């Protein structure tokens, strides 16, 4: 619940460095590893990737989820909040940051230098990217709640009941078969989205 003690963060002044990374390992057992700014693996993400692999997710799906997690962890590192202490306030600020701050300025492919200051505001992440990011994070925290990772852990990205009905498949056409009905974990979105997620 967000109340009087809510933290007020100056998101306009927040710098989120491109620290840490998602590494391709070349191993079929651990195709991707998320590492922190010191180069150490983030065990919570490693555990989640193992669960995704056990559920039959492809390497491209693991990579797609990893890019979303990297974006979240970079935000948390910038505001100095541990992933397992994040609340709905951090989740809200992250969603606002994705929308308003937008995509990072990438170096030009030829010069290696940033493309330069732009007079226009940053281009926001597409709604589909933001929705996918939120769903991946909701599933990541749900996994850790299921395995009882820590007593203080909450899911900062719960389903918003005011925007969604409480019923699963509430808007499903009864004349059509359910999609992804045989999956043991919820799938945030098509694997084709993986190319849309810059770190």
Which helix or strand (DSSP H or E) is residue 198 part of? none
Torsion of CA 180, 136, 190, 127, to 10 degrees: 130
Q: What is the pLDDT of residues 44-88, one digit of tens each?
A: 999 999 999 999 999 999 999 999 999 999 999 999 999 999 999
Q: Identify the pLDDT of residue 112.
A: 56
Yes or no: say if 16 and 97 are a contact pair by the CB < 8 Å rule: yes
Q: 114 in helix, strand or coil?
A: strand
pLDDT at 185 over 80: no
Q: What is the largest CA-CA distance in the chain?
A: 55
What's the rounded mean pLDDT across residues 96-112? 69
Distance CA 163, CA 148 (A): 28
């Amino acid at each position: 619940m967000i109340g009087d003690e809510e933290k007020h963060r100056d998101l306009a002044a927040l710098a989120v460095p491109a620290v840490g990374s998602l590494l391709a390992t070349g191993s079929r057992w651990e195709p991707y590893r998320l590492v922190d700014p010191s180069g150490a693996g983030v065990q919570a993400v490693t555990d989640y990737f193992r669960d995704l692999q056990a559920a039959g997710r492809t390497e491209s799906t693991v990579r797609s989820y990893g890019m979303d997690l990297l974006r979240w962890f970079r935000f948390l590192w910038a505001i100095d909040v541990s992933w397992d202490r994040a609340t709905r306030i951090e989740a809200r600020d992250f969603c606002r940051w994705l929308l308003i701050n937008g995509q990072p300025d990438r170096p030009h492919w030829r010069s290696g230098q940033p493309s330069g200051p732009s007079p226009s505001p940053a281009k926001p992440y597409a709604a589909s990217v933001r929705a996918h990011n939120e769903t991946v994070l909701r599933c990541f925290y749900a996994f850790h709640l299921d395995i009882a990772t820590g007593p203080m852990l909450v899911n900062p990205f719960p389903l918003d009941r005011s925007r969604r009905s409480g019923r699963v498949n509430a808007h499903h056409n009864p004349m059509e078969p359910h999609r992804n009905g045989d999956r043991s974990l919820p799938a945030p979105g098509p694997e084709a989205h993986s190319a849309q997620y810059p770190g």
